[in-house]
């Protein structure tokens, strides 16, 4: 008999689709957290494949901080429309009222908009399962994260009380008040993500490709002046540089890299030849090694 | 640094022709493997080394690693690769990995997923988890120590979980002067043991994870060794795909896709075999047959799908098929049964309660199941069989399992997806065990339900009543028997045919062989449930008065009855009140330690969460309670 050898991407795709379907079969009210980044783009694409010809049977939720790049907002609305899915945008009203922003409030910005915002949104809509695009290769403490990650009623993660996951069997049963974060692309690496985007021709935010953009340099990070809210210091003048982003978040917190890569193969090439890991561009992770674990226990994704 | 330069250099193609590189890398395959070793065997160091040598470490990570190595490393001034992989803060301080972690690296030929599991005492649960998805196992041995108890334990689990490729990595060769004799002796010791547990083949390699010998290529330090280095071996070994594809077609239906009335697709991952449009298939357990119409995908219909792919298919005929059923090649159906011999690996702090109903999930199907008392427990260190009445955390045993309905299955040795299961506690929802189905018990296949001409409806209609079970639950001394007795008297006056099953009375006969341990209490209630069920079949209204302290068992009995027939009556008397009444003097005995496992004192009572009726005995008399119960039964 002829056998067909599955490539690593085909096996990863099959596994992710299996996870997505398992949740839809067992959850009461699932939602997909959509951050508009490349990982979200892949996750959304996998969802389209998993449920075709039906549209994915759950809404997309964007926990917005109001400080994302303009290009991200554009793609967000288009992607949801193309997929035929409902898009829910949630902004923490308290953070909005207090004008919390990354320039004046440091860590509080992430805490209120993202961590608290996420909890509030999940509670508001009563979602019992939320898909997230986290990968195990991103950070050491994530290597031990389960695919189905259980959170207590107050959204805390207890690393000592997670369920064993064997074979392709996921136990999705919840006790009252518990909710689940499910990570369908746990086993993908950054290179896998890029290769898959290339192979499947998935639309991503243009910021991943190099282009001359207005920038300033601060604390070793190259920041893009994406809108008029960016407070320039005395004598600070935005400089046009050919830059792109390896990871996307709030624009004042996301460092760019100088690059000439304008196509996907060029981006992949640069990534493979580069010598720093992708999280380095995120100001949020420049704490001690165990900080991500601490954030996760508090409910940050 | 004394390490050798990595041989796996960044591919020159990346810089010269990225398109050609991408094309080549799209055809990479994937291998999942597990590393097993004891605390100091150098497991984390080996994995760190593989990541480092395959260029999966970036400069910033390396810089962090160097500073970490100086701060908390165990290798002096040299890079401590173990720090690359030990993740959670608490375990970094102890220097022990306490969970399963997954690591990723890739070479030009393959992507690798490594399950890293701990080597300390509490390891069984984690290692079994990591091994369940592995194609290959690397068993590490410290060359200075040779084959240890832990080595035997790891090998036994590797064999149990059906991993077919085993690599014996004799590590720390640098510390024994790269002596061939030491290596050969360890390999011979291991071979003798491996054969005794049925591991027929393995590949021994002398390595040093710390120094990098025989990791990416042959080492000059072991010129006497002619076999493959570790990484080249991992690149060449056969993955499970091919083997699975050769089997007959099987797909567990995961989800039914119904976007509109004209489309009905069955989605699932193919567990074995291949599928083409036009293939004849059968749906189990119903046995209905049809042919495959389409293999549907976002990129257009496909003409072939194979094991390991997640697909959506449509059938030519409108037949019933839902989540949990299995679509198979029509000429080679699966066995269907409801009683099995199985191996169970217990993974929860609370031990197995034989006879209690757990959820059993196999593939996409979840059913209720009970586990009998184990036939034996296996000592994982010596592989001896021990007598045991239960299984506690990290114990492995062989036991019969009964499901509440027939399920299609395959022996685990044949197919992991169709023979591997988990058990879920019905109250906590925790995954409490993993299991392997071995074979169906003949008993199940040969005992058929005998249909009788006079059925339960006939029995009931002759009595002009609807059968029911009034299940009174509550603490000892709460007033269950008193209320039950009044209820029966009142019903008798209303010409209703009843029977009162009382806890104490049943223990004089039917259940006189049972004590008051958790397992015996479960069996006590199971038998009473079965008797009550027979009585409802006979058309009777059954009144029961049992403490029945566990939710699981009350729910089990509820599940035995027809919908609506089970009426749970919670006789709610606070412990202080019941204890102050102490009609039988039992609380006094329990308090003084003469009576063990007494509910409310040293054994728990789990309150009903949503009983049909709650009787507060501090607010009403037994008469009033009885009237309330009867009003619920006969409105």
Domain ranges for chain B:
12-239, 246-329, 335-446, 456-633
Q: How confident is the model at residue B552 (pLDDT cuts 50, 70, 90)?
A: confident
B residues 113..142 contacting A (CB < 8 A): 113, 116, 125-126, 128-129, 132-133
* Residues in A touching B425 (Cβ below 8 Å): none
Q: Which of A6, A55, A199 sits opposite B308 (nearest CB)?
A: A6
What span, in angstroms and rounded, lies between the C-alpha atoms of B134 and A14?
17
Mark whether A211 and A247 lie in a shared domain.
yes
Q: Point out the residues of B that are catalytic.
A: 548
Mark whether A244 and A273 lie in a shared domain.
yes
Percent of chain A with pLDDT over 90: 43
Residue A17 in any domain: the answer is yes
> Above 50 in pLDDT, residue B239?
yes
Q: Give the minimum alpha-carbon distance from A240 to chain B in angstroms, rounded to a whole number.
A: 27
pTM: 0.80
Contact state of A21 with B100 under an 8 Å Cβ cutoff: no
Contact state of B26 with A13 under an 8 Å Cβ cutoff: no
Q: Give the minimum alpha-carbon distance from A16 to chain B in angstroms, rounded to a whole number.
A: 9
Q: Which CATH number applies to B12-239? A: 3.40.50.300
| Stretch B200-207: mean pLDDT | 93
Confirm if B215 and B228 have CB atoms less than 8 A apart: no
Size of interface A-B (CB pairs under 8 A): 206
Confirm if B450 and B547 have CB atoms less than 8 A apart: no
Residue B209's nearest CA partner among B44, B38, B33 is B44
Contact state of B129 with A166 under an 8 Å Cβ cutoff: yes
| Stretch B535-540: mean pLDDT | 92
Percent of chain B with pLDDT over 70: 88
**Tokens (6 digits) for A144:** 């031990």
The predicted pLDDT at position A290 comes to 42
The predicted pLDDT at position A94 comes to 86
Q: Which of B255, B309, B347 sits opposite A6 (nearest CB)?
A: B309
Show the beta-strand stretches assigned E in B7-46: 29-36
Q: Which of B88, B110, B347 sits opposite A164 (nearest CB)?
A: B347
Chain A nearest-CA residue for B51: A137
Q: Tokens 């299609």 belong to which residue?
A: B408
The predicted pLDDT at position A141 comes to 66
Residue A107 in any domain: the answer is yes
Q: Which of A18, A48, A195 sits opposite B298 (nearest CB)?
A: A48
Mark whether A187 and A211 lie in a shared domain.
no
Mark whether A133 and A236 lie in a shared domain.
no
Mark whether A38 and A179 lie in a shared domain.
yes
Describe the strand order of the beta sheet including B101-106 as a list of residue ranges: B101-106, B110-116, B29-36, B136-142, B165-171, B203-206
Do the domains at B12-239 and B246-329 have one common CATH topology?
no
Output the domain CATH number for residue A169: 3.40.50.620
Does ipTM exceed 0.95?
Answer: no
A84 vs A218: which has the higher pLDDT:
A84
Residue A118 in any domain: the answer is yes
> What pLDDT, in 10s, does the model give residues B266-283?
999 999 999 999 999 999
Contact state of B309 with A289 under an 8 Å Cβ cutoff: no
B residues 453..512 contacting A (CB < 8 A): none
Residue A200 in any domain: the answer is no
> Half-sphere exposure (CA, 13 Å, Cβ side) for A138?
20
B323 close to A (CB below 8 A): yes
Q: Give the minimum alpha-carbon distance from A35 to chain B in angstroms, rounded to a whole number.
A: 23
Q: At what angle do helices A38-51 and A8-26 cross, to 10 degrees?
A: 70
Q: Measure the CA angle with vertex B112, ends B109 and B114; round to 5°.
A: 160
3-state secondary structure of A159: coil
Q: Which CATH number applies to B335-446? A: 2.40.30.10
Q: How confident is the model at residue B249 (pLDDT cuts 50, 70, 90)?
A: very high
B562 close to A (CB below 8 A): no
**Tokens (6 digits) for B123:** 């390891």
Residue A3 in any domain: the answer is no
**Tokens (6 digits) for B588:** 């006094």
Confirm if B185 and B206 have CB atoms less than 8 A apart: no
Contact state of B258 with A54 under an 8 Å Cβ cutoff: yes
The predicted pLDDT at position A125 comes to 93
The predicted pLDDT at position B92 comes to 47
Mark whether A174 and A217 lie in a shared domain.
no
For residue A87, the 8-state DSSP code is E
Mark whether A82 and A166 lie in a shared domain.
yes
**Overall number of domains in chain A:** 2
Contact state of A171 with B429 under an 8 Å Cβ cutoff: yes
Contact state of A276 with B60 under an 8 Å Cβ cutoff: yes
| Mode of pairing for the β-strands spanning B541-545 and B498-502 | parallel
Q: Which residues of B are annotated as a binding site?
A: 37-44, 116-120, 171-174, 474-481
Prior bond of A53 cis (ω within 30°)? yes
> What pLDDT, in 10s, does the model give residues B504-513?
888 888 888 8
> What pLDDT, in 10s, does the model give residues A219-261?
788 888 888 888 888 888 889 999 999 888 888 888 888 888 8
Contact state of A9 with B26 under an 8 Å Cβ cutoff: yes
How remote is the C-alpha of B175 from its chain's centroid? 40
Mark whether A183 and A233 lie in a shared domain.
no
> Above 90 in pLDDT, residue A274?
no
Mutate to test the interface with B, among A150, A171, A294 (most CBs of B within 10 A): A171
Listed range (A242-251, B94-103, B208-217, B339-348) with the worst mean pLDDT? B94-103
The top-level CATH class assigned to B456-633 is alpha beta
B342 close to A (CB below 8 A): no
3-state secondary structure of B488: helix
Contact state of A25 with B26 under an 8 Å Cβ cutoff: no
> What pLDDT, in 10s, does the model give residues B569-605?
999 999 999 898 888 888 988 888 888 888 888 888 9
Q: Which of B106, B245, B296 sits opposite A3 (nearest CB)?
A: B245
Largest CA distance in chain A: 73
* Residues in B touching A53 (Cβ below 8 Å): 257, 259, 263, 265, 296
Mark whether A117 and A69 lie in a shared domain.
yes
B429 close to A (CB below 8 A): yes
* Residues in B touching A163 (Cβ below 8 Å): 430-431
Contacts of B115 (CB under 8 A, 6+ apart): B32, B33, B34, B35, B100, B101, B102, B129, B130, B131, B133, B134
The predicted pLDDT at position B55 comes to 61
> Above 70 in pLDDT, residue B259?
yes
Largest CA distance in chain B: 97
* Residues in A touching B424 (Cβ below 8 Å): 171, 173
> What pLDDT, in 10s, does the model give residues B295-330?
999 999 999 999 999 999 999 998 889 999 999 999
Q: Domain range spanning residue A63? A: 8-192+290-296
Domain B246-329: homologous superfamily in CATH? Translation factors (2.40.30.10)
Alpha helices, H only, B333-424: 416-419
> Above 60 in pLDDT, residue B133?
yes
Residue A16's nearest CA partner among A57, A46, A52 is A46
Contact state of A168 with B308 under an 8 Å Cβ cutoff: no
> Above 90 in pLDDT, residue B497?
yes
């Amino acid at each position: 008999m002829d056998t067909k050898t599955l490539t690593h991407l085909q096996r990863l795709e099959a596994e992710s689709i299996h996870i997505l379907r398992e949740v839809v079969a067992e959850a009461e009210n699932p939602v997909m957290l959509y951050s508009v980044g490349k990982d979200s783009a892949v996750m959304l694409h996998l969802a389209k494949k998993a449920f075709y010809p039906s549209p994915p049977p759950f809404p997309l939720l964007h926990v917005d901080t109001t400080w994302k790049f303009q290009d991200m907002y554009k793609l967000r609305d288009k992607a949801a429309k193309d997929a035929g899915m409902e898009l829910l945008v949630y902004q923490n009203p308290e953070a909005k009222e207090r004008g919390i922003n990354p320039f004046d409030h440091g860590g509080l910005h992430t805490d209120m908009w993202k961590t608290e915002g996420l909890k509030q949104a999940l509670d508001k809509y009563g979602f019992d399962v939320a898909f997230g695009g986290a990968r195990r290769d991103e950070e050491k403490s994530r290597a031990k994260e389960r695919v189905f990650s259980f959170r207590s009623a107050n959204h805390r993660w207890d690393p000592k009380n997670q369920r064993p996951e064997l074979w392709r069997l996921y136990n999705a049963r919840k006790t009252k008040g518990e909710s689940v974060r499910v990570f369908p692309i746990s086993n993908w690496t950054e290179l896998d993500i890029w290769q898959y985007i290339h192979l499947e021709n998935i639309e991503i935010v243009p910021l991943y490709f190099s282009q001359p953009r207005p920038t300033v340099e601060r604390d070793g990070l190259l920041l893009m002046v994406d809108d008029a809210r960016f407070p320039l210091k005395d004598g600070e003048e935005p400089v046009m540089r050919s830059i792109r982003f390896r990871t996307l978040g709030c624009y004042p917190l996301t460092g760019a890299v100088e690059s000439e890569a304008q196509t996907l193969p060029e981006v992949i090439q640069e990534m493979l030849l580069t010598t720093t890991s992708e999280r380095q561009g995120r100001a949020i992770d420049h704490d001690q090694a165990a900080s991500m674990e601490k954030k996760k226990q508090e409910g940050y994704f | 640094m004394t390490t050798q330069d990595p041989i796996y250099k960044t591919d020159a193609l990346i810089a010269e022709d990225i398109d050609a590189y991408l094309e080549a890398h799209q055809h990479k395959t994937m291998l999942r493997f597990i590393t097993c070793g004891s605390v100091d065997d150098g497991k984390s160091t080996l994995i760190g080394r593989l990541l480092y040598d395959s260029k999966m470490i970036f400069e910033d990570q390396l810089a962090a690693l160097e500073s970490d190595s100086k701060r908390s490393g165990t290798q002096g001034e040299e890079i401590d690769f173990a720090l690359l992989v030990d993740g959670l803060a608490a375990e970094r301080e102890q220097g022990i990995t306490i969970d399963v972690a997954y690591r990723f690296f890739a070479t030009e030929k393959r992507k690798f997923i490594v399950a890293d599991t701990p080597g300390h005492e509490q390891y069984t649960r984690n290692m079994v988890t990591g091994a369940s998805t592995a194609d290959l196992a690397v068993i590490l041995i410290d060359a200075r120590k040779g084959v240890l108890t832990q080595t035997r334990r790891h090998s036994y689990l590797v064999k149990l979980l059906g991993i077919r490729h085993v690599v014996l990595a004799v590590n720390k060769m640098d510390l024994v002067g790269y002596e061939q004799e030491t290596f050969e002796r360890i390999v011979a010791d291991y071979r003798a043991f491996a054969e005794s547990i049925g591991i027929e083949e393995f590949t021994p390699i002398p390595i040093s994870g710390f120094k990098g010998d025989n990791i990416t290529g042959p080492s000059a330090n072991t010129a006497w060794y002619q076999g493959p280095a570790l990484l080249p071996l991992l690149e060449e070994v056969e993955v499970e795909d091919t083997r699975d594809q050769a089997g007959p077609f099987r797909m567990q239906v995961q989800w039914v896709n119904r976007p509109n009335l004209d489309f009905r697709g069955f989605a699932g991952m193919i567990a074995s075999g291949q599928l083409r449009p036009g293939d004849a298939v059968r749906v189990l357990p119903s046995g209905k047959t049809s042919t495959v119409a389409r293999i549907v995908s976002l990129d257009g219909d496909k003409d072939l799908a194979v094991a390991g792919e997640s697909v959506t298919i449509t059938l030519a005929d409108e037949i019933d098929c839902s989540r949990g059923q299995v679509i198979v090649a029509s000429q080679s159906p699966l066995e269907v049964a409801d009683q099995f011999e199985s191996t169970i690996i217990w993974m929860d702090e609370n031990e197995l309660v034989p006879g209690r109903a757990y959820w059993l999930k196999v593939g996409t199907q979840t059913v209720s199941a009970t586990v009998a008392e184990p036939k034996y427990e296996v000592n994982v260190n010596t592989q001896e069989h021990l007598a045991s009445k239960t299984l506690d955390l990290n114990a492995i045993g062989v036991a019969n399992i009964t499901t509440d309905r027939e399920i299609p299955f395959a022996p685990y040795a044949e197919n992991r997806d169709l023979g591997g299961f988990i058990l879920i506690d019905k109250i906590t929802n925790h995954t409490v065990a993993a299991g392997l189905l071995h074979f169906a018990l003949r008993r199940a296949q040969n005992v058929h339900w005998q249909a009788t001409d006079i059925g339960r409806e006939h029995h009931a209609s002759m009595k002009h009543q609807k059968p029911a079970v009034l299940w009174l639950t509550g603490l000892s001394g709460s007033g269950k028997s008193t209320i039950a007795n009044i209820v029966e008297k009142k019903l008798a006056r209303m010409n209703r045919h009843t029977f009162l099953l009382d806890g104490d009375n049943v223990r004089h006969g039917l259940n006189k062989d049972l004590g008051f341990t958790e397992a015996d209490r479960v069996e006590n209630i199971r038998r009473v449930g079965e008797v009550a069920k027979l009585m409802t079949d006979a058309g009777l209204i059954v009144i029961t008065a049992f403490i029945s302290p566990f939710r699981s068992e009350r729910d089990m009995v509820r599940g035995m009855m027809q919908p609506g027939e089970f009426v749970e009556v919670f006789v709610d008397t606070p412990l202080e009140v019941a204890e102050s009444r102490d009609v039988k003097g039992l609380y006094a005995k329990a308090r003084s330690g003469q009576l063990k496992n007494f509910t409310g004192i040293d054994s728990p009572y789990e309150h009903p969460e949503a009983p049909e009726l709650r009787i507060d005995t501090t607010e009403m008399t037994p008469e009033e309670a009885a009237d309330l119960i009867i009003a619920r039964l006969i409105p």
